[in-house]
Amino acid sequence: MKSKIIIARPIFEATLARLREHFEVTDNQADTPWTKASWTQALSQHVGALTTGSDPVDAEVLKACPNLKAVANMAVGYNNFDVPAMTAHGVQASNTPDVLTETTADFGFALLMATARRITESEHYLRRGEWTQWRYDMFAGAEVHGSTIGILGMGRIGQGIARRAAHGFGMKVIYHNRSRLSAESEAECKATYVSKEELLKTADHVMLVVPYSAASHHTIGAAELAQMKPTATLINIARGGIVDDAALAVALREKQIAAAGLDVFEGEPKVHPDLLTVPNVVLTPHIASASIPTRMAMANLAADNLISYFTQGKSLTPLNT
Ligand code: DGY
């Protein structure tokens, strides 16, 4: 008899077909939204699950799921999981590292370029039919090449951003991280380790790539925004909650910083209403890893994690043992 698994959200048909070869699958190709209660109830009927970063697997959910054995997150971030609680319940947790690193770094750079060079703001102006003539200062933005990028969080994606910045755009790269990179990695990224304070004070572009946890909640709030240059841009491709969005909206409106580019939001898919009304922010709906090949690779790795757990006893990229 096949084990019963649930796929929380719509997924590629090919991944679904592959999983059906191994499991009795409950899918959600209809994209029916979950409440926490309906998700918990559905999950409790299964031994395995393929989740996204929006589907909680915490102590409360686990309490209702005594038969659950493995949950594969189709994301590298896993702040929707309570990994210690999963371990205590004997549930194997896994994520999808590596396969999205370069694509996400590409997007971080796209958002930086769009923000610094005011691409969406100027496109909206053009579409509104307001463009009547060339002007010397029309949508003049910040320089990217040759400027200083400050990367907060120097994991795999942070290093991908650093390589693009240093080697592609001749930028000076400074970074802050819980631990310093090896001398070899610093040389490869041409990156200099600095304190968070120095980074905020000196960077022309601040790129956030830190994982979310209680410790990183509001890493950037009013006090940190006040430390940044008035000409600086802030890019968040990490997680909502790393930035205090209400404080950021004030800083943008009052031009304490020049502009921001945000792919992630506190309480997403809701977006702080004040962010929707300031012009100097580029907003995208959590799509940093969304190239078709990368999303396929993420789906396949998550599927392989479940198949591997139920056939070999261990996921390929586990977060616990
Ligand atoms: C990730 O992989 O963590 C991305 O943010 C997609 O959820």
Q: Do the two domains 3-98+292-312 and 101-283 of this chain adopt the same fold?
A: yes
Q: How confident is the model at residue 10 (pLDDT cuts 50, 70, 90)?
A: very high
Buried b (16+ CB within 10 A) or exposed e, 143-180: ebeebbbbbbbbbebbbbbbbbbbeebebbbbbbbeee
Q: Structurally, what CATH architecture does the domain formed by 101-283 represent?
A: 3-Layer(aba) Sandwich (3.40)
What is the distance between the alpha carbons of residues 100 and 209, in angstroms, rounded to a whole number? 13
Average pLDDT over residues 285-306: 98
Could you give the residue numbers annotated as active site?
Answer: 239, 268, 286
| C-beta of 75 in contact with ligand 1 (< 6 A) | yes
Residue from 306, 298, 261, 244 nearest 53 by CA: 298
**Residue ranges of the domains in the chain?**
3-98+292-312, 101-283
| Alpha carbon nearest to ligand 1 atom 4, residue | 75
pLDDT at 61: 98
pLDDT at 321: 86
pLDDT at 247: 98
Cα(15) to ligand 1 centroid in Å equals: 18
| C-beta of 53 in contact with ligand 1 (< 6 A) | yes
For 97, 101, 226, 275, 309, the CA distances from 93, given in Å and listed in that order, are: 13, 20, 39, 34, 10
| Alpha carbon nearest to ligand 1 atom 1, residue | 75
Residue 114 makes CB contacts below 8 A (sequence gap 6+) with 120, 261, 282
pTM score: 0.96
Cα(94) to ligand 1 centroid in Å equals: 13
pLDDT at 52: 98
For 8, 28, 29, 57, 298, the CA distances from 33, given in Å and listed in that order, are: 9, 9, 11, 16, 22
- Using the atom order of ligand 1, give the atom closest to the CA of residue 95: 2
Which ipTM did the prediction report? 0.94
Domain 3-98+292-312: CATH superfamily is NAD(P)-binding Rossmann-like Domain (3.40.50.720)
The answer to whether the Cα torsion of 6, 11, 13, 15 is positive or negative is: negative
Cα(262) to ligand 1 centroid in Å equals: 14
| Alpha carbon nearest to ligand 1 atom 2, residue | 75
Q: What percent of the chain has pLDDT over 70?
A: 100
Average pLDDT over residues 158-181: 98
| C-beta of 155 in contact with ligand 1 (< 6 A) | no
What is the distance between the alpha carbons of residues 6 and 49, in angstroms, rounded to a whole number? 5
| C-beta of 236 in contact with ligand 1 (< 6 A) | no
